[in-house]
A and B are shown apart, each in its own frame.
Chain A
Amino acid sequence: MALLTTRPKTGPNGSESRRSVGDTVAEVRGHHRSFGSTHVLRGADLTVRRGEFVALLGRSGSGKSTLLRSLAGLDPSPKGEVSVTGRTSVAFQEPRLLPWRTVERNVELALLNTVRDASRSEKVRGALAEVSLTEKTDVWPGSLSGGQAQRVSLARALVSEPDLLLLDEPFSALDALTRIEMHALVTQLWERHQPAILLVTHDVDEAIALADRVLVLDQGRIAREWQVPLRRTSRSPEHHQIAQLRDEVLGALGVTPTNAHHQETGAA
């Protein structure tokens, strides 16, 4: 079992190591991170199990994005504090597509070091089909709508068949209707490919609707944790278990819940 302390080099043996490892894809132990005199993370602990969908909530500045960046290998972390097994990929709040490459060639870039030239195109087309963008393969990213661009970004993140998919508020810039469609799409893709997902969000309802487990980051560490009850299809906001969980999570975020369940969390 090879626990890599830094971002794993996604080499040709990536899939092999995936099969040989145990139950955990990401492990954070006592992680500290400060910027100047501001201590953002103060001993954060987090375990993400294989195939698990985890939502990480927190107020602005709680360090949730910092934690995600550590897991993505974008932020240097001391040895032993952050370890990720297998392949990781990230979808950010902005799609971050390269404007000078077509949609297809953007997705292809994620396979540059892992898949042979000849079989890339087929995988890319498969990934674009899964996000229903087959007709946009040869288009410049600049001509896509926000939702379409974010779907390309998802396809690019999934095409490398990651063990851990990190989602950094990927729906927050989308309009409400597109966001609902994206929730369904992410759920569907997660069920099909079973990567572990860490979704960083400030939207409590989104977290409860999508995740197996909801975490709240506060004061630089994981303050609270809940298993989300019920199957995803039964998680109606009116259901008393869901309503109660929602109140608890909001409470942990420092928001006094009211009876209106469809309001914005205000914890942006």
Chain B
Amino acid sequence: MSALVASRPNSAPSSPGRGTTRRSAASRLSWLRRWVSPLAIVLVWQLLSDAGVIPEDKIASPAQIGATAWQLTKDGTLGDATLVSVQRVLAGFAVGAVIGLVLAVVAGVSRIGEDTVDPPMQMLRTLPHFGLIPLFIVWMGIGEAPKIALIAMGVAFPLYLNTFSGIRSIDRRMTEAAVTMGLTRRQRLRHVVIPGALPQALVGLRQSLGVAWLSLIVAETVSADSGLGYMINHAREFLQTDVIVVGLAVYSILGLATDSLVRLIERRALAWRS
């Protein structure tokens, strides 16, 4: 699961000038060097599989996994399963994000809002939300609803907590300056509060997307009749370790993709911090 919370690479901007070509060549070399050990591991894995040291019913060989991935892609199984899973995450994320952000703004901009919203949120956040699965099944059965609820629950809290603290950390003196410029409450929200809370809110977004994928995997593993989780569970019954690995790889890729998306948004929206 570590792929879902990939660490931020040190993206040092290459400065323009004469030394650029040589420096970027050097950095390309070090980039290549970082691929040597992963490729070596895959190569050893393949050799051990070929020699029969690693049994296929424990884990398939890289070549076998590659072939299966190609096969599953060609016959549409993988695409359909991925689509179903992505839709679940989108639905759950949308519900959770709206709840988290609205509550954060309500709690962030008014004292009464904070006193009303924050105590229950602080209490609920200590609940391990996966522990709620039995209750969700009792309430909603085993269809789509409990899965989406689980994802929404996982998304709402990190977004709420980060956005709320982002709003609270805004320098009061900025807001005061806006008052002296005659800005209305709504204008202050738009020009001071929201942009001021954005860096912290984006941290919350990254966390919440990580939790969203994690929640999806747990929900689909508990029960599913479609999606990536179903594909993986189905493969387990037939000891198809190659299919299981393909499913896991897709989970990782999806997690990485959303994470890079947020990083892209951060680079664009927080350019002023560099």
Q: A residues bordering B, Cβ < 8 Å?
A: 7, 9-10, 72-74, 88-90, 92, 94, 96, 98-101, 109-110, 112-114, 140, 142, 156, 160
Total contacts A to B, CB within 8 angstroms? 58
Q: Does B65 contact A (CB under 8 A)?
A: no
* A63–B192 CA distance with the chains assembled, in angstroms: 28
Dominant secondary structure at the A interface: loop
Chain A residues within an 8 Å CB radius of B176: 74, 96
Complex CA gap A110/B41 in Å reads 61
- CB of B178 within 8 A of CB of A109, answer yes
Count the B residues whose beta carbon is within 8 Å of the partner chain — how many? 22
A31 to B192, CA, bound (A): 31
Closest to B271 in A: A140
Given contacts A96-B174, A98-B174, A98-B191, contact A72 B272 (CB under 8 A): no
**A92 in complex: contacting residue of B177, B183, B191, CB < 8 Å:** B177
> Which residue of chain B is the closest to A153 with respect to CB atoms?
B177
* Dominant secondary structure at the B interface: helix
Is the CB–CB distance between B181 and A89 below 8 Å?
A: yes
Residue among B187, B195, B271, B273 making CB contact with A98, cutoff 8 Å: B195
B16 at the interface (CB under 8 A from A): no
Instruction: Check if B196 is an interface residue, CB within 8 A of chain A.
Output: yes
Residues of A with C-beta under 8 A to B58: none
Closest CB in chain A relative to B199 CB, distance in Å: 9
Residues in B whose Cβ lies below 8 Å from that of A110: 181
- Between B173, B177, B183, B187, the greatest number of chain A beta carbons within 10 A of the residue's beta carbon is seen for B177
Query: In the docked arrangement, what's the CA distance between A110 and B187, Å?
Result: 12
Q: B182 interface residue, CB < 8 Å from A?
A: yes
- By a CB distance below 8 angstroms, the chain A residues around B182 are 7, 9-10, 112-114
- The answer to whether residues A74 and B183 also contact, given A100-B196, A109-B191 and a CB cut-off of 8 A, is no
A94 to B174, CA, bound (A): 10
For B174, list chain A residues within 8 Å (CB): 96, 98
